[in-house]
Amino acid sequence: MTGFVRRTAAAVSLVLVAAAVPLTGAAAAPGPTTPAAPDLGKAEAQWIDRDTVAWNTGGERASAATELVYARRGGMTVEDGELTGGGHRIRLAPVPGGLTEAQRAKYPHLKTYQAFRVDPRDRDRIRTALTGQLVAVQRASDGALKAATGVQTQGVLDDVYAPAATKAPLGPGFTHGKPSLAVWAPTAQGVRLDIGGRTVPMRRDADSGVWSASGPRSWTGKPYRYVVKVWAPSVRKVVTNKVTDPYATALTTDSARSLLVDLDDPELAPKGWRTLRKPPATPLRDAQIQELHIRDFSIADRTAEHPGKYLAFTDRTSAGMRHLRKLARSGTSYVHLLPAFDIGTVPERESEQATPDCDVASFAPDSEEQQACVGKAAAKDAYNWGYDPLHYTVPEGSYASDPEGPRRTVEFRKMVQGLNSTGLRTVMDVVYNHTVASGQADRSILDKIVPGYYQRLLADGSVATSTCCANTAPENAMMGRLVVDSIVTWATKYKVDGFRFDLMGHHPKANVLAVRRALDALTPKKDGVDGKKIVLYGEGWNFGEVADDARFEQATQRNMAGTGIATFSDRARDAVRGGGPFDDDPGVQGFASGLYTDPNTSKANGTPAEQKARLLHYQDLIKVGLTGNLAGYAFTDSSGRRVTGADVDYNGAPAGYATAPGDALAYADAHDNETLYDALAFKLPRSVSAADRARMQVLASATATLSQGPALYQAGSDLLRSKSLDRNSYDSGDWFNALHWDCLDGNGFGRGLPPAADNKPKWSYAKPLLADPALAPGCADIRGAGAAYRDLLRLRATEPEFSLATGERVQRELSFPVSGTPGEKPGVITMRLGSLVVVFNATPQEQTQHVEALKGNAYALHPTQARGADPVVKSAAYAKGSGTFRVPARTVAVFRRG
């Protein structure tokens, strides 16, 4: 996409961001400037290792006398141009030429900063200095204060402590049943353990900065918190924080306390857990993934015994589980769960969860009343997507039958069992790129233990919020370690089969590769899981303060190519849908929404000539997508030029960026932005019937299903799922989000105008659509779309040509024989793939495609479709004598050589 969706800090998570369009100037390193007046509320100096301070002091003051001043108890201020309350000093000397090449490579955003060397005589003061207020000071020759600022210490903390800290045990541990606890708090002046109503001192290891305590077996199962006395720059004073464990494995209700729990305790293992047999692992390049929110899945399912809970996935006879089994039998291999770790914005006890206080079902389909009523309860209801991480390695309590204690662990494991027994592996959506809060805020954890370390700081010392909340800094050793440790825990203790990284481009590539290495080291004999079979993929968007590798080599789309870790590809998605989700006019059309071939009334689409040109370019983007977004794939584009995937333009960036199938993940819709059905509602002409809208939905999905590499679908998309045109339903409650497995309940369309906060500018477009009963699909449309989609899944799963392992094989076996010839028609794509020919006809008329090279070969409609659920596709035909394929309107047809 060409932008991003912002959510409130309470709801967090950021959505789909174009790798091609970074924020202007976001990656630029600041050059020399004239510093402002002394300001201890900022932290513009950066202590990057034990020997070096980097400070953008301005050229005219680089030679001024420079030092660090520290006060363990704080109290330093600037009054009347003088630093008061100062303590001990660490002398600094300017380094001619600035940072070394190695330092510039490690900190590219600081490359223009001046460098100052710590006087060797003061090195013994470093550890003490790091436990109090730190100020960088420059003085004139007469001693007058010229500049003063706070100091960022992430780099020096890593240099001094990380070699030992990255190897030290953290969090709960058990040795022969005896419990222990450890927390990394190198800047703390003291740490105590509150456990079971007692306060216990903790011991500090000087090399690692880890504080630890061991106790009797009676500690097991007890609630605990750490009491950390530490200098907090955000409030500029020494504070004593009572804070839960960032390595917690269990919690009390609403995350009030950590619980000292052994995840290997047999009491926490459901029956059959130790011997759980998983479905065969599907390689990432073949993965067909259903993206699913735990509460959405069952909250409106009248056949579920545990609506909205983990245990709904154990209700084998529920409508939702029956549907998942059908998908699994058809070729779906993974269920991707939206965040299921402990989140920060949902009350965990049902008795404390608000519900709308009106009869939402009584209002008109285009009314404002539903969203107003839902909105009043949103802050305290049971709903959130969950992109607001609190504890990364504990299951969310609101999905458990009892949030108090380890029931959530048992029930999460039962959910994994339930999905595995259905033939589906489990992927977790993980959000390590930000926290729900920072500083001294109530929901802050990491920043209360090691202030200024775990969060990514900007040049002035403020916390970066480009992810729409407090960014973390996995480039720092201990945050990077937390990511790896957390994922390994989910893999080994919960038997999770894959991980989807939210905003993976905000991680260093090295961090994500470290996760891959850690998983690859897991073996069934040693760890109970085969880590090499665990899949990884994520959002490789390029934006914010890290854009264009400004701080490190990012885990972005192009950078991750060839690693075996996939990134979402937005190229074909935008071409299929049309425009982008942030267009002022949602009527901008694309390949599957009628551009040129079935135009709507939106002036944003341009003249017929402009529409035709854009549609043909969209077809080129889709062709690249069908190859698996291969950068080096060579073909003839719609203009007749010989190009590669990397030559095709996508908003100023290469459309093709992958090196092998599996590098790019295809999709037509996901939880972010409008559902596919809703996007088509905005874009297709009002005159298009619900039946034809269903056909266009299947065709749009087919561009992902029949591409090389993995594909993801929002759960319910096969059943024409609607969220009543809501473009950002992260906090829109059950009314707009719930899945409806019974077609008699509709598909979610016409449940009122979507919430004003993110949708009001589009209400004028939405209102007439929601009021039109002809746009709401009936059971025949819903069932037909679902069955046609499953036919395509079966077809993909049974034909090896859709699973080519290398770019070389794709080049050899996949082609677009009509592309760039006079026979190429706007709205029609023909793909030859080994013994198959696939024709995507997105036009409202029957189309023929003549392929001279195939004349005389015997082709017939693929048996899966010939015997399948869609009566329309069965009229597709092939004329052997002329090499001509005939395909009905709004249809994807697959032909196989006889």
Known catalytic residues are 502, 539
Q: Could you tell me where the beta strands, DSSP code E, fall in 651-768?
A: 653-654, 664-667, 711-714
Q: DSSP letter at 400?
A: S
Can you tell me whether residue 644 is helix, strand or coil? strand
Residue 58 φ then ψ, to 5°:
95, 135
Contact partners, residue 27, CB within 8 Å, separation at least 6: 109, 545, 546, 547, 548, 549, 550
Give yes or no for a contact between 554 and 541, defined as CB atoms under 8 angstroms apart: no
Residue carrying the six token digits 């996935």: 313
Backbone angles phi, psi at 133, to 5 degrees: -70, 135
Identity (one letter) of the amino acid at 160? V
Alpha helices in 316-393 (DSSP H): 319-330, 369-377
For residue 128 the two structure tokens come to: 């003490």
Phi, psi of 14 (to 5 degrees): -115, 160
Q: Are the beta carbons of 893 and 876 closer than 8 angstroms?
A: yes
Q: Tell me the C-alpha distance between 821 and 829, whole Å.
A: 12
Q: Are 485 and 170 in contact (CB under 8 A)?
A: yes
Q: What angle do CA 662, 668, 673 make, to 5 degrees?
A: 120
Token duo for residue 81: 């141009």
Give the N- to C-terminal CA distance of the chain in Å, as an integer. 41
Q: Read off the tokens for 894.
A: 């697959």
Residues 6+ apart with CB under 8 A from 363: 369, 370, 752
Which amino acid, one-letter code, is at 767? Answer: K
Cα 711 to its chain centre, rounded Å, is 15
Burial state string for 273-299 with b = 16 or more CB within 10 A and e = fewer than 16: beebebbebbebbbbbbbbbbbbbbbb
Which tokens go with 421?
């027994």
Q: Which is it for strands 859-861 and 891-897: parallel, antiparallel or unpaired?
A: antiparallel
3-state SS of 840-882? EECCCCCEEEECHHHCCCCEEECHHHHCCCCCCHHHCEEECCC
Give yes or no for a contact between 862 and 807, defined as CB atoms under 8 angstroms apart. no
Handedness of CA 746, 752, 753, 757 (dihedral sign): negative
The CA distance from 691 to 780, in Å, is 8
Residue type, 654: P
